[in-house]
Structure 1
Amino acid sequence: MGIQFTMLKLDPGHAFGVNGPMQKDTGDESKVVEQYDFANEDLSGVDVLIIPNFVDQEFLFSQREKIKDFLAKKKIVVYCGHLFREWLPGCAPFMPQHIQNYKDYEVFPAENSHIFEGVTTEDMTFKKGVAGFFARGYHHAPVGAEILLTFANGKPVTYIDRTSTNGTILVHAGRDLLGYAGENKSTDRIRPQFLAWLEAEVKTLKEGTAQ
């Protein structure tokens, strides 16, 4: 049974894009469009907008009103990356994590984080024995945001913002959450749990009871 909502995903259109060598989105749940086609894309039938890392943020800045209007209609925007332009409501610029040793890259799920439930700190922090692939920084979360994932110092790697707009914004200071699959470790849980969270959040927003 497929997902019960519609997703539009922007493709940066280069080697590090949606299905570049760094990380692949293995599913077909999203309609994928070249990033610059977003300006002419009809969003009326879209529930979730997925914006992965390596997108052209100068272009997105020019489209900030379209993104704001989308959220005003009780929709969801997911941004995975390092924000440096103010195109996403409520999101502060990316800040690099202060690193003194590899343990400063360790990330920890919040107790009630359904997206990262059962995913271990070790599996997120290390890839082939090297730390820092999952996240290397954070965004200051707006007041009232739900924090899902942090560094040991409490800086938020992933958060949900339901207060800055009528919709829901999920910000993850790393790579596309849909790309975590097929690694034969606990990070394989992220993709299906993320999709399940999106489905539930879409339903809540449509019912007009988002918290």
Structure 2
Amino acid sequence: MTVLRAVMEPGVTEVGGWRGIDVYDLPHADLTAVAGIYLAADIDQEFLADHREWLSRFVFDGGRVLVNGHVQRIFLDGLTRWRTLDFRKPADLALTRVSEHPVWAGMDARLFLYNTGTPGRLSFEELERIGVAGFYGRGYYLDLPDGAQIIHTIGPTACPIDYVYPLGAGQVLVHGGNDLLQFAAADRGASALAGQLLSWLGQR
């Protein structure tokens, strides 16, 4: 089965097991052999909202969709709108893993908090000293759909940032921040993330 990575890039091609597709071509694509769709964080939500019934039917029929970013237009059944988190310090953006999920299996949630310009693997203590927080996410979702399972919360208020929910025979995984594939790096201790994303989306 194929996994599509829908982005705002005309002429995208297959890279690393992902079959790229321009989001504007998505509703016209042949999905008979497609198991999952990865939606980039900068996707055109207005366009997808116009095709909500089509995308929801794909999931109802057993497909899987990963939604990245800040949902403001409801383009898939069950989605809710993203809200900005009021934060003052890195601790306000810290991730807590509430439940396990195969996409993040084997990865310490703390290592997603900071970004640095320093190459190589750094200890969490060093990341705390020189890193900049907030790249993974700076907001949250409330009013989650029925059956939703929270994976990560953000900050001391424990607001949901990553969650998964069933929709018909399929599933929707929502990440309320920058593209998850941006974090699939060995230096971060997350080299397995891309493969685990692909594996989860490829199940149908």
Provide the TM-score with structure 2 as the length reference: 0.82
Q: 1:110 to 1:8 in 2, by over 3 A?
A: same
TM-superposed CA distance for 1:116, in Å, is 2.2
Q: 1:106 to 1:12 in 2, by over 3 A?
A: same
Match 1:156 to one of 144, 154, 160 = 160
- Partners of 1:85 and 1:119 in 2: CA distance: 31
Q: Partner of 1:37 in structure 2?
A: 25
Does residue 12 (structure 1) correspond to residue 14 (structure 2)? The answer is no
Structure 2 spans left out of the alignment, 5+ residues: 117-130
Match 1:146 to one of 121, 138, 149 = 149
Which one has more relative contact order, counting CA pairs under 8 Å at least 6 apart?
Answer: 2
One-letter amino acid matched to 2:34: V
Structure with bigger strand share is 2
Does residue 89 (structure 1) correspond to residue 91 (structure 2)? The answer is no
Q: Is the 8 A contact 1:50 1:77 kept in 2?
A: yes
The count of aligned residue pairs is 187
Deviation by residue 1:13-43 (Cα, 9 ceiling, x = unmatched): 29xxx89xxxxxx942121111111232121
Percent identity, please: 28
1:162-181, aligned counterparts within 5 Å? Answer: 162=166, 164-181=167-184
- Partners of 1:11 and 1:111 in 2: CA distance: 29
Deviation by residue 1:95-139 (Cα, 9 ceiling, x = unmatched): 111213221111122342332233234321110110100011122
Q: Partner of 2:185 in structure 1?
A: 182
Match 2:89 to one of 96, 101, 110 = 101
One-letter amino acid matched to 2:196: Q
- Partners of 1:40 and 1:86 in 2: CA distance: 20
RMSD across aligned C-alpha pairs, in angstroms? Answer: 2.3
Q: Is the 8 A contact 1:158 1:170 kept in 2?
A: yes
Structure 1 spans left out of the alignment, 5+ residues: 20-25, 206-211
Q: Partner of 1:208 in structure 2?
A: none
Q: 1:12 to 1:193 in 2, by over 3 A?
A: same
Provide the TM-score with structure 1 as the length reference: 0.79
Q: Is the 8 A contact 2:112 2:183 kept in 1?
A: no
Q: Is the 8 A contact 1:61 1:86 kept in 2?
A: yes
